[in-house]
Structure 1
């Protein structure tokens, strides 16, 4: 009975369905799972309550991102076949269960349960939920694919804008000991289950062959935009897929390192100044980064519909490298410089996520773009380990050697610059897909 209700055939939109009802369904899921970007708010309380190091307290976040990429890669084809309602329901179940397991783990003082719950189980919910609306949105908005995916993936970037102050308030009310943290996790699991269910109910897929009223595919397109289709299996055999894998991995590693360590990082950078940042203000900084992450996803991906995907990635990667250089050179001289550079870096980070589905659609067509996108997100799995590991390991080593403030991060910032340069070069090598990888008409 439940399987029938979730089946793709049950959610084909009737004639006259308003396609603008689909982005809110995607946002209900993405705003919820975007909570992962507020993990840094839980790091200090967990470290104090359970006696963890900075590297160890990052494990649930890191495993969550790893599982996001792996579940998106292995589940992408299933999501394409079963449809977005099934995917959103599975995401809701796993993401909420992850919080409930984490609550039990903290209450019992068993940190491995937090890693298992939030990282492994919740991470599966992240991956399935993340890709659940992408293919559907591209099919509803063939005229503006960058804008459409930007709307949904904007929600993922903006999740921490809600979760960061909300989590801080709950921890303040319940306490930051094991009991308070456990209760906070419990409330998160219940509330997110209810909110994500709205997306499950709302989502629809367009009828076969549907097009927006009055819209026709353009006769002439940019050289990078194909009119052919490439299957997920064939996409893995193309150099374009792996070049984009490198591009995404480098861009994500450079952004996620700051994001995971955002709250303690601004405290350290402000320590050398006249006005050190308090913990409460640091949580506000996390929310501010979430806002720019969210805004960048919509603004930059929408802009890519006009500038082209390759050009916009030149901005993300080249501009990001220059901004990191600005933090190295001037970040310690004042909090405003650090904050401004970090905000722009996070806007490029978010924009990269929101633009990549449209980039894939340009190169490989819409035939199995959801499955291709899922496989590409393995780059996020790698980056989810690399970014926090680089920043936390360098900071922990520096602290052990007696370094303080901005000095804890200098080496990791130079590493990020190098990664962005590598990504920039990889993007320059992207060319249209060779016709030998195209699907024959009869198989579509």
Structure 2
């Protein structure tokens, strides 16, 4: 084995290159207002580009899992092409002031690159880190969370100065930024594509791949339970995270940028900490119980101190940090949990199906808190609803997601095995 044939060079570094690129989708809030201002459309209409991107991410992962399973090199290259073309095309359609074009390029084209790119390194990481699957997926998915921390200063630099009203001094920077970023991420993702490699001697079992039964997965109670608790965790996370700036402004806390960076660090740190912790537990599903219960406890503590309005700023910041950590940890703990329950042979396909929960949560999370605030004008009511949902997720984790491993082989595959054995 050469000095470059190791888990860090062939799995961790390419995974980080790919995930740190596609994770910049979370930087959307930095420039959505600038896009709206440049093309002359309301922010509420421009906002749909992000929602479409997250929805397409989840659905392309759901339908692309089997493709990723067959060939990680084709899938990593395809992810790079779709993501980079989508980003460059977004710049072009901003220049053309075409909202539909932005929906298609940022939402659909980039969304496909996001979904395929998110899935591609996961199985390879778990194959290299057989005894530390949680650590492996945590490292990669942390890249997705850290992308915002890394890319935000670069984007602010590329956007340039603003006037006293917060409007760009040079509005054309908004579309040139996308061209520059597309070039940077093309290099990163292609390098990741070139060095990504499964361990020597590992070959996909084609007969096992042919035996995969979508029906058995989608109708399995354990899978349904995992899907629901994953969906609830994302929905609750987005419902609170999307109101982060508003909550801090409401309590009169000025250092919003500092808190934003802090919560992003907790988001990324939670991805490594929770999934690594799961490696040491008898049942990895226990991690989700810890995530949900810790979120419920911090919400109840906030409510006990008379809610958002009268609570200490440090408690509000702790609330945002803990929910962010659990939000990130839910993502990184998902692949190893699915591997424990359904086996590693078809993990990309099963993981892709589970990520469809992200697609629907991307459409409902932000809207949930927005609707509650519109109807009640109360951040406390948002907390009550989130606490109730976390409680439901806890019950699902306890009573639905059983520890037994599920057999995904269909009857035809079993017959073929019997013939081979006979």
Please report the TM-score for the alignment, with normalisation by the length of structure 1.
Answer: 0.82
- State the alpha-carbon separation in 1 of the partners of residues 24 and 4 from structure 2: 34
CA-CA distance at 1:56 after TM superposition: 2.9
Who is 2:275 aligned against? 301
- State the alpha-carbon separation in 1 of the partners of residues 22 and 169 from structure 2: 23
- State the alpha-carbon separation in 1 of the partners of residues 169 and 22 from structure 2: 23
- 2:416 is the counterpart of 1:427: no
- State the alpha-carbon separation in 1 of the partners of residues 187 and 408 from structure 2: 43
RMSD: 2.7
- 2:202 is the counterpart of 1:258: no
Asked whether the equivalents of residues 270 and 329 of structure 2 are also in contact (C-alpha less than 8 Å), the reply is: yes
Who is 1:19 aligned against? 7
**Residues 360-371 of structure 1 mapped to structure 2, 5 A cutoff:** 360-371=338-349
Who is 1:33 aligned against? 22
From 308, 312, 337, the counterpart of 1:331: 308
- 2:289 is the counterpart of 1:314: yes
Q: Deviations over 1:75-132 (max 9, x none)?
A: 00011012x2222211111111222122122222222222221111111111000000
Q: Secondary structure at the match of 2:74?
A: helix
- State the alpha-carbon separation in 1 of the partners of residues 384 and 318 from structure 2: 18
**Aligned residues, how many?**
396
From 359, 367, 386, the counterpart of 1:416: 386
Asked whether the equivalents of residues 69 and 377 of structure 1 are also in contact (C-alpha less than 8 Å), the reply is: yes
- State the alpha-carbon separation in 2 of the partners of residues 77 and 353 from structure 1: 20
CA-CA distance at 1:18 after TM superposition: 1.2
- State the alpha-carbon separation in 2 of the partners of residues 241 and 141 from structure 1: 24
Q: How has the CA–CA distance of structure 1 residues 295 and 15 changed in structure 2, closer, same or farther, with 3 Å as cutoff?
A: closer
Q: Secondary structure at the match of 2:401?
A: coil
Asked whether the equivalents of residues 161 and 288 of structure 1 are also in contact (C-alpha less than 8 Å), the reply is: no
Q: How has the CA–CA distance of structure 1 residues 193 and 282 changed in structure 2, closer, same or farther, with 3 Å as cutoff?
A: farther
CA-CA distance at 1:134 after TM superposition: 0.8
Q: Deviations over 1:43-83 (max 9, x none)?
A: 3333444455554343121111101110001100011012x
- State the alpha-carbon separation in 2 of the partners of residues 156 and 349 from structure 1: 12
- State the alpha-carbon separation in 1 of the partners of residues 79 and 242 from structure 2: 22
Structure 1, 117-126 or 16-25: larger mean CA deviation? 16-25
**Residues 139-288 of structure 1 mapped to structure 2, 5 A cutoff:** 139-173=127-161, 175=168, 178-208=171-201, 231=212, 233=214, 234-262=216-244, 264-266=245-247, 269-273=248-252, 276-277=253-254, 281-288=255-262
Mark the runs of 5 or more structure 1 residues left unpaired by the alignment: 1-12, 211-229
Q: How has the CA–CA distance of structure 1 residues 158 and 335 changed in structure 2, closer, same or farther, with 3 Å as cutoff?
A: same
- State the alpha-carbon separation in 2 of the partners of residues 176 and 330 from structure 1: 40
Who is 1:220 aligned against? none
Q: How has the CA–CA distance of structure 1 residues 236 and 349 changed in structure 2, closer, same or farther, with 3 Å as cutoff?
A: same
Structure 1, 67-76 or 429-438: larger mean CA deviation? 429-438
CA-CA distance at 1:284 after TM superposition: 4.2
CA-CA distance at 1:195 after TM superposition: 1.4
Q: Secondary structure at the match of 1:109?
A: coil
- 2:358 is the counterpart of 1:380: yes
- State the alpha-carbon separation in 2 of the partners of residues 209 and 186 from structure 1: 39
CA-CA distance at 1:232 after TM superposition: 5.2
Who is 2:206 aligned against? none
Please report the TM-score for the alignment, with normalisation by the length of structure 2.
Answer: 0.86
CA-CA distance at 1:208 after TM superposition: 3.4
Who is 1:349 aligned against? 327
Asked whether the equivalents of residues 37 and 290 of structure 1 are also in contact (C-alpha less than 8 Å), the reply is: no
